Amino acid sequence: MNKIPNFLIPYFRTNHAGETGAVFIYKGILAISKNKDIIEFSKRHLQTESDHLKIITEILPEKHHSKLVFLWKILGFITGFFPALCGDKFIYATIFAVESFVEEHYQDQINLISKDKKYEEIKHLIKKLMDDEVDHKNEAHEKFKNLNFFQRFWSTVVRKGSSFAVKVSMVV
């Protein structure tokens, strides 16, 4: 892949931070969950997120990585660990909330570059990453119905937290 254009560096910094957080969400879930379906779900998704992180790490120069990677690891782990303490629906609601946000975030990047043919390769990469995240979102959504107040509240916290993390990682 060609060099990432300068105007996309902040977006790829957020992508790197987000994929780091996602890896640690699944590590947090796996640290505590004993449910074999959750473990299988988490291991599969952990592999996909690890692959995404590897791809982004390879194309984003290290000097452009977020200076807060340690924080994204901690917050990601907590974002997986806490719902695993609360039950399966909390886990699936978490993944649905995160991936719904990520889908929008990747789509914003695609929209930003879609009119310029010279960015076709990077657009296809972002689309591939987004498609995987949408698959995760849809799989999580199939696993829960009718969230209670606390699960909906937690989902809102996760989405707002993801949004805040993107704003911070755009600059740091």
Answer yes or no: is 104 within a domain: yes
Mean pLDDT of 102-130: 94
Rounded Cα distance, 112 and 81, in Å = 34
Q: Based on the structure, what is the number of domains in the chain?
A: 1
pLDDT number for residue 37: 95
Answer yes or no: is 95 within a domain: yes
Answer yes or no: is 109 within a domain: yes
Range of the domain at 23: 8-169
pLDDT number for residue 3: 81
Answer yes or no: is 14 within a domain: yes
Task: Write the pLDDT tens digit of every residue in 56-95.
Answer: 999 999 999 999 999 999 999 999 999 999 999 999 999 9
pLDDT number for residue 101: 96
Sign for the pseudo-dihedral over CA of 42, 43, 47, 50: positive
Residue 2 has pLDDT above 70, yes or no: no
pTM of the model: 0.93
Rounded Cα distance, 120 and 126, in Å = 10
Answer yes or no: is 1 within a domain: no
Answer yes or no: is 129 within a domain: yes
The structure tokens listed for 106 are: 């990747």
Nearby residues of 16 by Cβ (< 8 Å), 6 or more positions away = 53, 56, 57, 60, 65, 66, 69
Predicted confidence band of residue 1 (pLDDT cuts 50, 70, 90): low
Rounded Cα distance, 125 and 159, in Å = 24
Select from 106, 114, 152 the least CA-distant residue to 131: 106
Answer yes or no: is 99 within a domain: yes
Task: Write the pLDDT tens digit of every residue in 25-48.
Answer: 999 999 999 999 999 999 999 999
**Do the beta carbons of residue 72 and residue 17 sit within 8 Å?**
yes
Answer yes or no: is 3 within a domain: no
